[in-house]
Chain A
Amino acid sequence: MSKAKLMDFDKALEIYEPVLGFEVHVELNTKTKMFSSAPNEFGGDPNTHTTPVCLGLPGSLPVVNEQAVRYSISLGLALGCQIAPSSRFARKNYFYPDLAKNYQISQYDEPIAFEGSVEIELADGKLVTIPIERAHMEEDAGKLTHVGGSTGRIQGAEYSLVDYNRAGVPLVEIVTKPIFGAEKDAPELAKAYVSAIRDIVIGLGISDARMERGNLRCDANVSLRPRGQEKLGTRTETKNVNSLRSVERAVRYEIQRQAQILSEGGTITQETRHWHEDTGTTSAGRPKSDADDYRYFPEPDLLPVVPTPELIEELRAALPEQPVERRRRLKAEWGFTDLEFQDVVNSGLLNELVATVSAGASPQAARKWWTGEIARLANAADVDPGSLVTPAQVAEVQALVDEGTLTDRLARQVLEAVIAGEGSPRDIVEKQGLAVVSDDGALIAAIDEALSAQPDVLEKIREGKVQAAGAVIGAVMKAMAGKADAARVRELVLERATAQ
C-alpha cells in the first residue's frame, strides 16, 4: 500500500483503538552456542563456526550451555518474571533451509520465565507498564543469502546460499501480553519498549544488543478495533524491524494501513508482514493459517531445567539497578533539567553519558558532546553515535578544553579527527598543532598588527565604543588560525588599544 493511501494517523486513532504486542529476540553473548560448543561469534568465514550439532549432522546431539541458562534466568528476573521451578525444551517442527535439523529447539508450554512486567518511560516522562507473558530460551537459525533476481531479496531469487555460523546462537524470546491503552503513543511506546529491553540486556551484560547486527530483533504485533468494541481485531506480525526508529515507524505504518483497509470495509489478514526500511512500508509475508502445525513435543535429547532456589537468589542478588530507577538516580546526580535528561534518554545515549562521566567529564559537558556534535555527525553519516567515538575519547577531548589547551571550536576539530581515525585526542592536538596559543607575546604581536591595519577601529575603542573591538578580535583569531582563546584576545585588544 502506497503511503498516499494510508489513513491519517490522528484520524485512525479517532476511529480505532490500537492493541500492540511484541516478540523480542535477544541473542546472548555467551562464548559458545546454545546447544553446541561452537564459537558464538558474529561474522567469520561462512560455515567455520559449526560443530556436527549446528549442522544437524546425523547422530549429533544437543547439550545445554549452562551460561545461557544463567543469562536467561537473569533476564527473566530483570523482567520481573517468575522463574519456572522446572522448565523444558521442546521441538518446533518446520522445514526451512536455515534450520539445520528442520526443527528449532525452543520452549513451548514450560518456559524458563513467565508473568513479568517492564516499566518504560515515554519522551514526556510518562511511565508505562508493559506486561510480559513469558521469556523462553531457544536457538537462532543460520543465515540465507539470496542470489539472482533483481533485489537480492528472497522474491525472484534463483537460488540461495546457507551459512550456519549463526545456527544455534542462544536466544531469549520475550513475549508481551496484549498492550492496551497506548493510543497515540503507540509508535513511541514500541520504540521505548525495545529500547528498555536493550537497556536491560546491556545492563545485565548478557547481549551485545546491536540491532543492526540482529542481536536484538523485534516482531511487532498490531491490531485495531473500532472504539467501543470489546473483541480484539485481527493482528499482523511485522518482522525484520532492526532499528529503534524502524520499530516506531513500522507500528505507525501498520496502524495507518489497517485503519485504511478497515475504513473501506476490508478485512485484515492474519499474516506475517515484512518491514522495508527503504520505503518505510510493510509487505505481506506468509499467511498464518491452519497449515502452521509446528507439532511441538518435549525435546527427547534434553532434560528439564530445574534451577535451584539458591541459584535464582544468587542471580537476583547480582541484578543491576532497574533502568527506570537508574534514570531517576542519574538525573538527580547530574542535576539535569527534565528537558535535558529526556533529550539524553530519547537519543538513546544514556550509557554513553554514564561512561563519559565516569571517564572524568562533567555531566553537562558529556551531554553537550553526545547530544550535540556527535549526534549531528552520526545523523549525517546515518550511524549510531556510539559507533563513532568512545566515551573515553570524548572525556579526553573535554579534559583538553577544561585545561585550556583547546577552545570549543578546536575541540570540535579534534573530535572530527578522532572520528576520522587519526589518533587519540592528545596525539591529534600534538601532530596538528591545534593547541590554543597561550603565549601572550604572540597574541600581542598579532593584535598590534591588526590595530595598526584598522586605525578607525582603534579610534572608536579609544572613544569608549568597546563593541567595535569585534572586528579586530576577528582579524586576530583569523591570523591565529583559530588557535586562540577569544576571551583572552578581547582582554588584550582592549588593553593594547588604551595603552597605545
Chain B
Amino acid sequence: MSELTHHTAAELADALASGATTSVAITQAHLDRIAEIDADVHAYLHVNAEVSLAAAQASDERRAAGKTLNALDGVPVAIKDVLVTTDMPSTAGSKILEGWMSPYDATPVRKLREAGLIPLGKTNMDEFAMGSSTEHSAYGPTRNPWDLTRIPGGSGGGSAAAVAAFEAPFALGSDTGGSIRQPAHVTGTVGVKPTYGGVSRYGAIALASSLDQIGPCSRTVLDAALLHDVIKGHDRHDSTSLTDNWPSFADAARHANLTGVRIGVIKQLNGDGFQAGVMARFRESLDMLAANGAEIVEVDLPAIEHAVAAYYLILPAEASSNLAKFDSVRFGMRVTPTGGGTVEQVMSATRDAGFGAEVKRRIILGTYALSAGYYDAYYGSAQKVRTLVQQDFANAFAGVDVLASPTAPTTAWKLGEQLDDPLAMWRGDVATIPANLAGIPGISIPAGLAEEDGMPVGIQFLAPAREDARLYNVAGALESLLTTTWGGSLLSQNRGLDTPGGYSTSVKGGAR
C-alpha cells in the first residue's frame, strides 16, 4: 500500500486485516510524515517514536497470533494533550504542567490501548482548552494546514491539524464549547462532541466539568464513528458517565439514509454575523439534503441568544475551581520568590508564572462570578439560562430529528488577528456553545470552501441527548453526497499545502 498516511482509519484497518500492510509500517509512515511537516504545522507537543513503534510491533504480533483486540488494532491515533497518559507527558498546553507524567491513563486512552490502537503523540491545544485558535498554547501556536498563516481553530487545533495534515488518521479531542467542532470547521475535517456523559471524562484535565466532553476528530464520518465506538460507554470513575447501551455508531454511518429525516434550521444561527461563504456552503448542503429525502424546517430557539453569556459565566466559574489544584505541591511547576516565601507566596508566584494571560483572565472572572454577593446574579442566572436553552432544544426536537447550523460564523482567521479582543473569539463560539450547555451531541463535517478566502467551511448537526447515532446517519449521508459532487474529499482540494516541502505531492490523489 502506498501513501499509508493518506488512507482513512477504516481503510487502514481493512489493509491490516487483509495483510496488505503492518501496523509498524503504518506507524512509521505517520512518524515520517510528522518528522517531515510538523515543524511547520506544530500539531504535536510530544511524539515518542520508540513507544509508538513498540506498540505497533506488539499489535503485529497479536495479529500474527490471531489475537487481534479490535477491528482498529494497529491503527495509529493522536491524543489531545488534555488527556493524561502514563507514557507521554501531559501538559494541557500549559507551562505549569511542563513535563508532568501522570501515574494513570485517562479512561478514553486506556480504552484505545485496550483496543490495540497506537498512540502517536500528544497534540497541541489552547492552554487548559481555553481558546478558539490554539494560540493560547504555552508551547506556541499550531498552524492551519490549509494556510500556515491561519489558525487551526481551538482549543483542539492540534488534533484537527494533525488529522488534516495526514499526521494521524484520527485523534481524540475535548469539546467544552466547540473545541472539537470548530477546529473541524476551519480545517476541513470531521469532529464530534458526544452526548454529555457518553464518553468518560476520567483523566481529561478538567476545564468546566459540566460542559467538557471527549470525542473524536477524523477525516471521515465513518472514522469518527469507529473511534467513538471505542471510547464510548460507562466508566465507574466518572459519576456523570452514562450507563446507556449505545448502538454501533459505525453502523449508523455505514447505513446512512435520509428518507423521512426532518432537519430543523436554527433561525438564530442563520445569517446575522455569518460570513457569506459560510452561509453559501450551508445553504447548498441544506438543498442537497432536501433533494435527497430530508425535510427542512425552520425552528426558533430564542434562549440561545443568551447562551454565550451564560457559557462565559459557567465556564470560568467551574474552571476557577478546577484549576485551583495547580498549586506546586503535588505535581507541576514550582516557583519560589527570590529569598523564599510562605507556601501562600510560593503558590501565588507559581500560578502567576505558570498560567498564561487567558487562563488568568478566566480564573479571575470565575472567582468573581462565584463570589459572595454575585453568585445569584451571575452563576445562578447563568444556570437558569441553561434551563431555558434545554427547554428550547426540547421543544425543537419535538418536531425535528436533528438541527442544523453553520459550525462557526467565519472561516479560519489569521494568526494574531483576534488576540487583542477577548470578546471576538467568544462570538465565534455562538453556534457550538448551546450544545454544551444542553448536554446534547453535535457533529461538524466539511461543507466546502468559502469563495472569498478558499478556506474550509463546516456544517453542524445537533441531535437530542443520547441520539448521537442520528448525527452519524445524517452527516454520513451528506458527506457521501458532497464528496461525490467534489469528486473526492474536501482535503484533496487543499492547494495551500503546496508550498511547504513535499506536502503537495503526497496530497494530490487524495485520501480516496
User: Chain A residues in contact with chain B, CB under 8 A?
Assistant: 52, 55-64, 91, 93, 95, 97, 100-103, 160, 162, 164, 293, 295-297, 300-303
CA distance A302 to B367 in the complex (A): 21
State whether the Cβ of B97 lies closer than 8 Å to any Cβ in chain A: yes
Q: Which of B203, B206, B321, B344 counts the most A-chain CB atoms under 10 A from its CB?
A: B321
Of B102, B326, B347, the residue contacting A59 (CB under 8 A) is B102
Contact B201 A95 (CB under 8 A): no
User: Given A101-B325, A102-B325, are A295 and B104 also a contact pair (CB < 8 Å)?
Assistant: no
Contact B371 A295 (CB under 8 A): yes
Contact B209 A297 (CB under 8 A): no
Contact B90 A58 (CB under 8 A): yes
- With a cutoff of 8 Å between Cβ atoms, the chain B residues found around residue A301 in the complex are 206, 209, 239-240
- Which B195-214 residues have a C-beta within 8 angstroms of A? 201-206, 208-210
Contact B204 A59 (CB under 8 A): yes
State whether the Cβ of B276 lies closer than 8 Å to any Cβ in chain A: no
Of A58, A62, A293, A302, the residue contacting B325 (CB under 8 A) is A58
The chain B residue sitting closest to A59, CB to CB, is B203
CA distance A295 to B302 in the complex (A): 31
- With a cutoff of 8 Å between Cβ atoms, the chain A residues found around residue B330 in the complex are 55-57, 100, 164
- With a cutoff of 8 Å between Cβ atoms, the chain A residues found around residue B325 in the complex are 56, 58, 100-102
- With a cutoff of 8 Å between Cβ atoms, the chain A residues found around residue B203 in the complex are 59-60
Contact B347 A95 (CB under 8 A): yes
Taking the closest CB of chain B, its distance from the CB of A146, in whole angstroms, is 11
Tell me whether chain B's interface is mostly helix, strand or loop, or mixed: loop
Contact B371 A293 (CB under 8 A): yes
CA distance A297 to B210 in the complex (A): 12
Of A59, A100, A303, the residue contacting B106 (CB under 8 A) is A59
User: Given A57-B102, A61-B201, are A97 and B329 also a contact pair (CB < 8 Å)?
Assistant: yes
- Which B328-355 residues have a C-beta within 8 angstroms of A? 329-331, 343-344, 347
State whether the Cβ of B255 lies closer than 8 Å to any Cβ in chain A: no
Contact B324 A60 (CB under 8 A): no
Taking the closest CB of chain B, its distance from the CB of A399, in whole angstroms, is 51
Contact B209 A162 (CB under 8 A): no
Contact A58 B343 (CB under 8 A): no
Cross-chain pairs A/B with CB under 8 angstroms, 26 sampled? A52-B102, A55-B330, A56-B325, A57-B84, A58-B92, A58-B97, A59-B102, A59-B204, A59-B205, A61-B201, A61-B202, A61-B206, A61-B237, A93-B370, A95-B327, A100-B325, A100-B330, A101-B324, A102-B327, A293-B371, A295-B367, A295-B375, A297-B321, A297-B379, A300-B209, A301-B240
Contact A59 B202 (CB under 8 A): yes
CA distance A27 to B203 in the complex (A): 28
CA distance A59 to B110 in the complex (A): 13
The chain A residue sitting closest to B96, CB to CB, is A58
Contact B102 A297 (CB under 8 A): no
Of A164, A295, A302, the residue contacting B239 (CB under 8 A) is A302
CA distance A91 to B323 in the complex (A): 13
Compute the total of residue contacts between A and B using a CB distance below 8 Å.
101
- With a cutoff of 8 Å between Cβ atoms, the chain B residues found around residue A295 in the complex are 320-321, 367, 370-372, 375
User: Given A57-B331, A58-B92, are A102 and B324 also a contact pair (CB < 8 Å)?
Assistant: yes
Taking the closest CB of chain B, its distance from the CB of A458, in whole angstroms, is 84
Taking the closest CB of chain A, its distance from the CB of B339, in whole angstroms, is 14
State whether the Cβ of B126 lies closer than 8 Å to any Cβ in chain A: no
Of B103, B331, B343, B372, the residue contacting A97 (CB under 8 A) is B343
Taking the closest CB of chain B, its distance from the CB of A97, in whole angstroms, is 5
- With a cutoff of 8 Å between Cβ atoms, the chain A residues found around residue B210 in the complex are 300
Contact B321 A64 (CB under 8 A): no
Q: Which of A58, A91, A101, A102 counts the most B-chain CB atoms under 10 A from its CB?
A: A58
What 1/0 mask marks residues of chain B from 100 to 127 whose CB sits below 8 Å from any chain A CB? 1011101000000000000000000000
- With a cutoff of 8 Å between Cβ atoms, the chain B residues found around residue A52 in the complex are 102-104
- With a cutoff of 8 Å between Cβ atoms, the chain B residues found around residue A91 in the complex are 321
CA distance A12 to B236 in the complex (A): 57
State whether the Cβ of B83 lies closer than 8 Å to any Cβ in chain A: yes
The chain A residue sitting closest to B237, CB to CB, is A61
The chain A residue sitting closest to B366, CB to CB, is A295
What 1/0 mask marks residues of chain B from 228 to 247 whose CB sits below 8 Å from any chain A CB? 00000000111110000000
Taking the closest CB of chain B, its distance from the CB of A170, in whole angstroms, is 16
CA distance A367 to B119 in the complex (A): 70
Contact B321 A63 (CB under 8 A): no
Contact B237 A63 (CB under 8 A): yes
The chain A residue sitting closest to B372, CB to CB, is A293
- With a cutoff of 8 Å between Cβ atoms, the chain B residues found around residue A97 in the complex are 327, 329, 343
Taking the closest CB of chain A, its distance from the CB of B203, in whole angstroms, is 4
CA distance A103 to B323 in the complex (A): 10
Taking the closest CB of chain B, its distance from the CB of A37, in whole angstroms, is 9
The chain A residue sitting closest to B347, CB to CB, is A95
CA distance A164 to B344 in the complex (A): 19
Taking the closest CB of chain A, its distance from the CB of B179, in whole angstroms, is 16
Taking A58-B206, A93-B370, A101-B325 as given, write out 11 further A-B residue pairs in contact, using a Cβ cutoff of 8 Å, ordered by the A residue number: A57-B104, A57-B330, A58-B84, A59-B202, A59-B205, A59-B206, A93-B321, A95-B327, A295-B371, A301-B206, A301-B209
User: Given A160-B343, A295-B371, are A61 and B324 also a contact pair (CB < 8 Å)?
Assistant: no
Contact A103 B370 (CB under 8 A): no
- With a cutoff of 8 Å between Cβ atoms, the chain B residues found around residue A300 in the complex are 208-210, 318
- With a cutoff of 8 Å between Cβ atoms, the chain A residues found around residue B331 in the complex are 55, 57-58
The chain B residue sitting closest to A290, CB to CB, is B372
CA distance A91 to B379 in the complex (A): 14
State whether the Cβ of B482 lies closer than 8 Å to any Cβ in chain A: no
- With a cutoff of 8 Å between Cβ atoms, the chain A residues found around residue B227 in the complex are none
The chain A residue sitting closest to B236, CB to CB, is A63
Taking the closest CB of chain B, its distance from the CB of A118, in whole angstroms, is 31
- With a cutoff of 8 Å between Cβ atoms, the chain B residues found around residue A102 in the complex are 324-325, 327
The chain A residue sitting closest to B351, CB to CB, is A95
CA distance A56 to B104 in the complex (A): 12
What 1/0 mask marks residues of chain B from 285 to 320 whose CB sits below 8 Å from any chain A CB? 000000000000000000000000000000001101
Taking the closest CB of chain A, its distance from the CB of B381, in whole angstroms, is 13
Across the A-B interface, give the 10 residue pairs with the lowest CB-CB distance, nearest first.
A102-B324, A295-B370, A300-B209, A59-B203, A300-B210, A58-B205, A56-B325, A59-B84, A101-B325, A301-B209
CA distance A60 to B104 in the complex (A): 9
Q: Which of A52, A93, A102, A295 counts the most B-chain CB atoms under 10 A from its CB?
A: A295
Taking the closest CB of chain B, its distance from the CB of A309, in whole angstroms, is 23
- With a cutoff of 8 Å between Cβ atoms, the chain A residues found around residue B83 in the complex are 59
- With a cutoff of 8 Å between Cβ atoms, the chain B residues found around residue A100 in the complex are 325, 330
